[in-house]
Amino acid sequence: MSNQRVAVFRKTHFNAAHRLNNPAWSEEENARIFGKCNLPNYHGHNYELIVRVTGEVDPNTGYVVDLKWLNDLIEHNVLQKFDHKNLNLDTEEFKHLNPSAENIAIVIYNILRGHLQSTFDLKIRLYETERNFVEYPA
């Protein structure tokens, strides 16, 4: 049964505040481009995160990866950093990076990628609202 690649998914959520703002632009330009997302007192989202890991099934376990291990990985490396935080003010990752959904997904990918064997593919899907979501890599 070698070369049987399967995708496994772990779905979780976190709550965080952010403000989209480009410090190189005027207040007017930021307001025009980012609208309500640029309000000076920040705003929050209930993010839904889906982590997809694709790889071959281990013949000894029947797993691609142990989902408990994947859950713990996400908990310790993503949720503890971002849940109930102001992404702009409380996290190193977004001190100088606009915390758009796109950038959040890329940051989460980069955090988790280093913990997975290179034989696994990783994809991040992040819902900012139930209608708006991003995937990385595309």
Q: How far apart are CA 23 and CA 57, in angstroms?
A: 47
- Catalytic annotation present for 130: no
Active-site choice (13, 43, 76, 84)? 84
Active-site choice (27, 29, 37, 76)? 37
Cα–Cα distances in angstroms (integers) from residue 17 to residues 43, 58, 99, 136, in the given order: 5, 39, 9, 21
Active-site choice (45, 128, 130, 135)? 128
Count of H-run helices and E-run strands, the chain: 5, 5
- Catalytic annotation present for 37: yes
What residues are annotated to the active site? 37, 84, 128
